[in-house]
């Protein structure tokens, strides 16, 4: 039971990381500022703060998020530099690419792992080989 739960959390963590990494990478490439990259929700457990982004692991490992500059539609900007890095002030095609990048990365992970799993193989019990 414990091994199954730990395995579930580890696999879920990998899926979440790849998904959020897609959003993060395309946001950075699109010139959007990223304030937080979190694996998990709730209170921060550990992390590293760089000049612009706070990379963190949070308490509840059932999701994750990328908080971008200007991600809230009611957000006010102090200076023009923040406004230039804002998600809502980017062209629609960049916003669409950022939003679609998470699911796309999960699809790419599946397309990468599926052939690998078929090459490695899965053990089949002997009784299934008999008619």
Distances (CA, A) of 131 to 113, 114, 127: 31, 28, 8
Site of tokens 């899965």: 122
Q: Which of 20, 52, 75, 76 is catalytic?
A: 20
Distances (CA, A) of 120 to 63, 78, 113, 115, 129: 29, 55, 10, 9, 19
20 is an active site residue? yes
H-state helical runs in 56-91: 80-84
Q: Give the active site residues.
A: 20
């Amino acid at each position: 039971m414990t091994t199954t739960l730990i395995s579930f959390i580890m696999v879920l963590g990998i899926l979440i990381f790849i998904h959020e990494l897609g959003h993060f990478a395309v946001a950075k490439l699109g010139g959007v500022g990223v304030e937080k990259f979190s694996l998990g929700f709730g209170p921060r457990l550990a992390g590293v703060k760089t000049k612009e982004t706070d990379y963190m692991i949070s308490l509840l490992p059932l999701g994750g998020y990328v908080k971008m500059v200007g991600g809230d539609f009611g957000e006010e900007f102090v200076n023009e530099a923040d406004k230039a890095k804002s998600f809502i002030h980017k062209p629609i095609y960049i916003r669409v690419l950022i939003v679609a990048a998470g699911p796309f990365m999960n699809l790419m992970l599946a397309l990468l792992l599926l052939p690998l799993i078929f090459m490695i193989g899965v053990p089949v019990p002997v009784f299934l080989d008999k008619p």
